[in-house]
Chain A
Amino acid sequence: KNEVEQSPQNLTAQEGEFITINCSYSVGISALHWLQQHPGGGIVSLFMLSSGKKKHGRLIATINIQEKHSSLHITASHPRDSAVYICAVRSGEAGGTSYGKLTFGQGTILTVHP
């Protein structure tokens, strides 16, 4: 079992739909990142969370530390939201050799049709 699991792996939506991508993790973390990767490789950081909820425009990210679960929501989805969305958790083991290590989920491929 991977330390970071995302679901679904593939997601197809119609423009305007509300989208949810889930991330579950099994290790202790100091922070969780949601990233967006477009074809060609460039990665953009969407959110960094250690508790609660954050909102940027149509994007909302939540995290439940007790349940080791985070969700990324996109309201009123648009074709330009089509990308791979990646959840990554940062190791919380300060001082160890893996300190600062980011462990990535396998990504969710989102396609939004007009």
Chain B
Amino acid sequence: ETGVTQSPTHLIKTRGQQVTLRCSSQSGHNTVSWYQQALGQGPQFIFQYYREEENGRGNFPPRFSGLQFPNYSSELNVNALELDDSALYLCASSLGVVLSVGELFFGEGSRLTVL
């Protein structure tokens, strides 16, 4: 049990719809990062938030956006869903300071299926 919770655990959407995934970080952790893991592949970094500001981003289009709230929980929003967005979405929290991020604690993931 890592203390990181994600919701929903499973969801099904259709092409063109929008989705919001949520992550509650471990108590005291101020950094949240999001990852996309397609079936049979390794995770891909989407972006990272430190104290409510995005401070790192991978190669994902702008329709992938996020937020981090004052309590350090986070949302991942995906607009205009495409079939290839079907994946397991993982969030991880850690205790970060400027220029450094500590050990990661992952949630169980949200499995998104786009039909």
> Which positions in A face B, CB cutoff 8 Å?
30-31, 33, 35, 40-45, 48, 86, 88, 90-91, 94, 97-107
In the complex, the answer to whether A100 meets B104 with C-beta atoms within 8 Å is no
> Which positions in B face A, CB cutoff 8 Å?
2, 31, 33, 35, 37, 41-45, 48, 50, 55-58, 88, 90, 92, 96, 99-106, 108-109, 111
Q: In the complex, what's the smallest C-beta–C-beta distance from A31 to chain B, in angstroms?
A: 8
20 A-B residue pairs with Cβ-Cβ distance under 8 Å, sorted by A, are: A33-B103, A35-B106, A41-B90, A42-B106, A42-B109, A43-B90, A45-B103, A45-B105, A45-B106, A48-B103, A91-B56, A94-B99, A99-B56, A100-B31, A100-B55, A100-B96, A100-B101, A104-B42, A104-B44, A107-B42
Give the A-B pair count, Cβ closer than 8 A. Answer: 70
In the complex, the answer to whether B90 meets A103 with C-beta atoms within 8 Å is no
* CB < 8 Å neighbour of B45 from A40, A41, A42, A103: A103
Residues of B close to A41: CB separation below 8 A: 37, 88, 90, 108-109, 111
In the complex, the answer to whether B42 meets A106 with C-beta atoms within 8 Å is yes
In the complex, the answer to whether A33 meets B104 with C-beta atoms within 8 Å is yes
* CB < 8 Å neighbour of B58 from A30, A31, A94, A98: A98
In the complex, the answer to whether B56 meets A30 with C-beta atoms within 8 Å is no
Instruction: Tell me the bound Cα distance from A70 to B29 in angstroms.
Output: 27
